[in-house]
Amino acid sequence: SYVLTQPPSVSVAPGQTARITCGGNNIGSKSVHWYQQKPGQAPVLVVYDDSDRPSGIPERFSGSNSGNTATLTISRVEAGDEADYYCQVWDSSSDRYVFGTGTKVTVL
Amino acid sequence: EVQLVESGGGLVKPGGSLRLSCAASGFTFSSYSMNWVRQAPGKGLEWVSSISSSSSYIYYADSVKGRFTISRDNAKNSLYLQMNSLRAEDTAVYYCAREATPWGDFDYWGQGTLVTVSS
Of B37, B95, B103, the CB nearest to A90: B103
The whole-number pLDDT of residue A51 equals 98
- Of the candidates B59, B100, B109, which has its C-beta nearest A48's C-beta? B100
User: Does the beta carbon of B40 lie under 8 angstroms from any beta carbon of chain A?
Assistant: no
- pLDDT (tens, 9 = 90+) of chain B, 119 residues, equals 999 999 999 999 999 999 999 999 999 999 999 999 999 999 999 999 999 999 999 999 999 999 999 999 999 999 999 999 999 999 999 999 999 998 999 999 999 999 999 99
CA distance A8 to A76: 21
Chain B residues closer than 8 Å to A43 by CB: 37, 45, 95, 106, 109
Determine the pLDDT at residue B47.
Answer: 98
B residues 47-106 lying closer than 8 A (beta carbon) to A: 47, 50, 59, 61-62, 95, 100, 103-106
Residues A30, B28: Cα–Cα separation, whole Å: 28
| Whole-Å CA distances, A33 to A20, A42, A98, A103, B113 | 13, 16, 10, 14, 23
Q: Do residues A4 and A98 make contact, with C-beta atoms less than 8 angstroms apart? A: yes
What value does the mean pLDDT take over residues A43-53? 98
Please tell me which residue of chain A has the smallest CA distance to B113: A42
Q: What is the pLDDT of residue A95?
A: 95
**pLDDT score recorded for residue A18:** 98
Mean pLDDT of chain A: 98
Burial class (CB in 10 A: 0-12, 13-18, 19+), A39: exposed
The share of chain A scoring above pLDDT 90, in percent, equals: 100
CA distance B36 to B51: 9
d(CA A94, CA A51): 24
Taking only the tens place, the pLDDT of each residue in A61-97 is 999 999 999 999 999 999 999 999 999 999 999 999 9
